[in-house]
Amino acid sequence: MPLLIALIVIGLLVLGLVAIYNRLVRLRNRTDNAWAQVDVQLKRRYDLIPNLVETVKGYASHERQTFEDVVKARAAAQGAAGVEEQAQAENMLTGALRKLFALAEAYPQLQASEGFRQLQAQLGETEDKISVSRQIYNDTTLTFNNAVQTVPTNIVARLFGFATRVYFEVADDVRSVPKVEF
C-alpha cells in the first residue's frame, strides 16, 4: 500500500511538471508569434521608407544629410537582432523620419503632392499597426515573464532553461511631438 501511494504521488508530480512545462512552451510560442507580428509591420515600414525618401528628395535634393540619416537608420533597423537592439534601432529610425517630415513641412508643393500624402498616410497606418503589435507583444511577454518568475512555474522554468523576455519599448523622446522651426 505505501508503494502504491508513493507511485500515485510521483505520477501526480510528473503530470504537474508536464502541465507546467507545456504551459511555458505555449506562452513562449505565443510571445514568439507576437514578435513575428511586430516584425511583419516593421518590414512594411522599411518597404515604405525608400519611396518616401525619393519623393521628398525630388523636392529637397539639397537636404542630403537628412536622407542619409534615414537610409542609415533604416539599414540599422533592418539589421537589428533581438528585441533590445531592434528597439534602439527603431528609436533611431523614428527620429530620422521625424526630421524628414519636419523637412517636408518646409515645402508646400511636396505637401500638396498626392504621392507624398499617400505615402504619409500609409506610413501613419503602419505606425499605428506597429504600436498595436508592440502592445500585444509586450502583453504576451508580461504573461510569459510572470509565469517564468512565479512559483511553482519558476522552478520548472529554471529546470528547463526558460528565461524572461525583454519588452519592446519606445524611448520617451521618440513619442514627443517634433518641434518645427523655420
Grid cell locating 79: 539589421
The overall average pLDDT reported for the chain is 91
State what percent of residues in the chain have pLDDT above 90: 75
Mean pLDDT of 158-182: 73
Residue whose C-alpha is closest to residue 162's, from 14, 4, 10, 26: 26
> Which pLDDT does position 125 carry in this prediction?
96
> Which pLDDT does position 74 carry in this prediction?
95
pLDDT band at 172 (very low <50, low <70, confident <90, very high): low
> Which pLDDT does position 30 carry in this prediction?
98
Reply yes or no on whether the pLDDT at 174 is more than 80: no
State what percent of residues in the chain have pLDDT above 70: 94
Query: Domains in the chain and their CATH numbers?
Result: 2-175 (1.20.1440.20)
Mean pLDDT of 85-89: 94
Q: How far is CA 107 from CA 84, 95, 96, in A?
A: 36, 20, 18
CB atoms within 10 A of CB 110: 18
> Which pLDDT does position 110 carry in this prediction?
86
> Which pLDDT does position 180 carry in this prediction?
39
- Are the C-beta atoms of 161 and 148 separated by less than 8 Å? no
Reply yes or no on whether the pLDDT at 39 is more than 60: yes
Q: What is the pLDDT of residues 129-164, one digit of tens each?
A: 999 999 999 999 999 999 999 999 999 999 999 999
CB atoms within 10 A of CB 27: 22
